[in-house]
Copies of this chain bind each other. A is one copy, B any other.
Amino acid sequence: MKHRPTIRDVARKAGLSLSTVSLVINNRGYVSPETRESVLKVVRELSYHPTRSARGLASKTSGNIGFILSEEHFSQAEPFYTRIFLGTEFEARIHNFYILLTTVGDQFDPDQYVPRFLLERNVDGIIIAGKVSEKLISYIDSLGLPIVLVDYEMKRALHSAVLIDNWRGGTLAVEHLLALGHRRIAFLGGDIRHPSLSERYAAYKNTLNQAGVHLDETFEITEEKATSVAGGTSAAERLFASGANPTAIFAVNDAMAIGCVRHLKSRGMRIPHDVAIVGFDDIDMSAHIEPRLTTVRVFKEEMGKIAVQRVVDSITAKTNIVVTTHVPVELIVRESTVSAAHADD
């Protein structure tokens, strides 16, 4: 447990001042090439590395990025946000940052609970995934920390955001069903207050309208409490209980689509023969269920990556330019809309 070298040791051995060594290490200010080289040489010889805490104290930076996720999304270990999170981990390492994860409840009260990394001044910027209290966002603003929103958007765009192209995704999904000849297309949705979900819903209605297809309200389930597998099952139940007889279903996300599939199978309905289904998100599971699910692929890791790039930009550049990125989506056609073995028919 030998004493590890400090910047002081480096300075002494190089015959220079602390300040000069610091300048070299941080690649800042004026240093002659020869001096720089000799410092670096000593650094190598001693295998010196600056300590994060000391650096943090002096420079008021932490080298960390905070990732905030709503409690429900985290505890369910939601495959969707989990992927985004892993994407940030990946990209963060490239930029020499670490990600600190925390969760927050639905409503935020600064007198009650504040993420610890904010109190301890232990992050340089914040990534928020999904929907959280607006109070929380303005609280963080008041700390002067840069924020990047992922899969969430506020009325007035004051923050950089990384968004899914939900409109295009919804349109692609419904157009796909229309192209297959479907006209009685149902929508299975949940909490429409979440911007992503309401956009998908809007795209659904718009696409049908454009195609001149009559909109039937009994075909729309928009108030299911949870957009989960269980929610999908219960929404499907309600849909058919209402007497609707769609030939195709657009589910607001894959979790609901999978729940829906399960319900249809339990009723003995064949997919896609009796009812075709399209989901949204392309979570891992979707390619593995039977039938494999047609869906709109969202590049989740990519979203995390972009979010980190944005927040790092804001941290380093100090300039607060707001960038909204719409990450493109892709329709993945699988067996839940187009039968693999056409022999079925």
Contacts and interface: CB of A to CB of B under 8 A. Distances in A.
Contacts of A98: 64, 100-101, 117, 122
Given A51-B120, A120-B49, A288-B285, A101 B79 contact: no
Contact of A62 (B53, B60, B289): B53
Nearest to A61: B53
A215 to B, nearest CB: 32
A103 B62 CA distance: 21
A55 to B, nearest CB: 8
Interface of A: 1, 4, 49-57, 60, 62-64, 74-75, 77, 79, 82-83, 86, 89-90, 93, 96, 98-103, 116-117, 119-122, 144, 258, 284-285, 288-290, 301
Given A57-B57, A289-B289, A50 B86 contact: no
A171 B100 CA distance: 40
Contact of A86 (B82, B122, B301): B82
Contact of A122 (B52, B60, B116, B119): B52
A186 to B, nearest CB: 22
Top 9 nearest A-B pairs (CB, nearest first) are: A290-B290, A53-B56, A52-B120, A49-B119, A53-B57, A52-B122, A98-B100, A288-B289, A285-B288
A62 B52 contact: yes
Given A52-B121, A98-B101, 17 more contacts: A50-B120, A51-B57, A52-B53, A52-B122, A53-B62, A55-B120, A56-B56, A56-B57, A63-B120, A74-B90, A77-B86, A89-B101, A93-B103, A96-B116, A98-B100, A288-B289, A289-B289
